[in-house]
Chains A and B, each alone.
Chain A
């Protein structure tokens, strides 16, 4: 059974590229969403095993989406990997501790790094 990954990022070209790279591996089924406002509905519809979530999006931020997911008992256990354009470990660390998230990945990230982080997150139980 394939791992279901939801990618939420307002940059369509990036979500397309992530989908292409992950699906090439053959073990992922990827669904993309480019509007933060629709992210929660996408989670409910797609039921992902893991969410790749951009932080800075125009209509609804990744922080807010993560908080909503954490407040929903049916969705709160889905692991989240944040994708961020923030650059320093201090900044990303502070954000993670604030919203109880998992791992932050600074853009640009390579496909290999992305897969490694996804697998590590899933294997650590989120």
Chain B
């Protein structure tokens, strides 16, 4: 796929210089170039997903990854009238994780939330982290089926006030190429990649609609006693 894209890109460059005087042609070529970049981005995501790169695991504070991603999306939130509410508990137990992958996981989920609220003209992105001993109600949100009541987890919840997902869609959100975005807007791979990352970390992810509107994504990471290296 990369070779055909390379041919198209070079062809666009050539034609762009051949047609400097024609506005319509220039716009068409610009659109084509944009499409090449988009296709290239999709291929990269697909390769990331299919490659299943082994994670580089080390003990770290998950709040650092949350803060990094919040920092990266803050401009986008500001631009779309989205308020960020972060409620991160200090001194969480450290998690053994691949920090790049966990950042990608949070980025995928927060961008979905931002896009959903963008459609609504703004909203609130709430991100919280805490350590919890699971009770039987909370256990219902364990997607792995391997956690037990009383287990200690690091609980990361990302909530938005955007639109809800219909029941049929909720069952498909992790499927490759499933997207609720308009045609050409989403790759439908973000949550598929996210689920892979969750599995790499033996963690749990649950996505559900909130009663008050919007979506809640809850991730639970097993809290083990690890010390800073």
Does B47 sit within 8 A of A, measured CB to CB? yes
Does A58 sit within 8 A of B, measured CB to CB? no
B81-131, CB < 8 A from A = none
Smallest CB-CB separation from B18: which chain A residue?
A: A24
Smallest CB-CB separation from A22: which chain B residue?
A: B10
Interface residue total, chain B, C-beta cutoff 8 A:
18
Does A47 sit within 8 A of B, measured CB to CB? no
Which residues of chain A are near B172, meaning CB under 8 Å?
A: none
Question: Which listed segment binds B: A9-17, A69-77, A93-101?
Answer: A9-17
How far, in whole Å, are A64 and B120 apart by their CA atoms in the complex? 55
How far, in whole Å, are A20 and B7 apart by their CA atoms in the complex? 11
Given A87-B44, A87-B47, does the pair A110, B13 have CB atoms closer than 8 Å? yes
The interface of chain B, by Cβ under 8 A from chain A, is 2-3, 5-11, 13-14, 17, 33, 36, 40, 43-44, 47
Q: List 10 A-B contacts (CB under 8 A).
A: A17-B7, A17-B10, A18-B10, A20-B14, A21-B13, A24-B17, A107-B5, A108-B2, A111-B10, A111-B13
The interface of chain A, by Cβ under 8 A from chain B, is 11, 13-14, 17-18, 20-21, 24, 83, 85, 87, 106-112
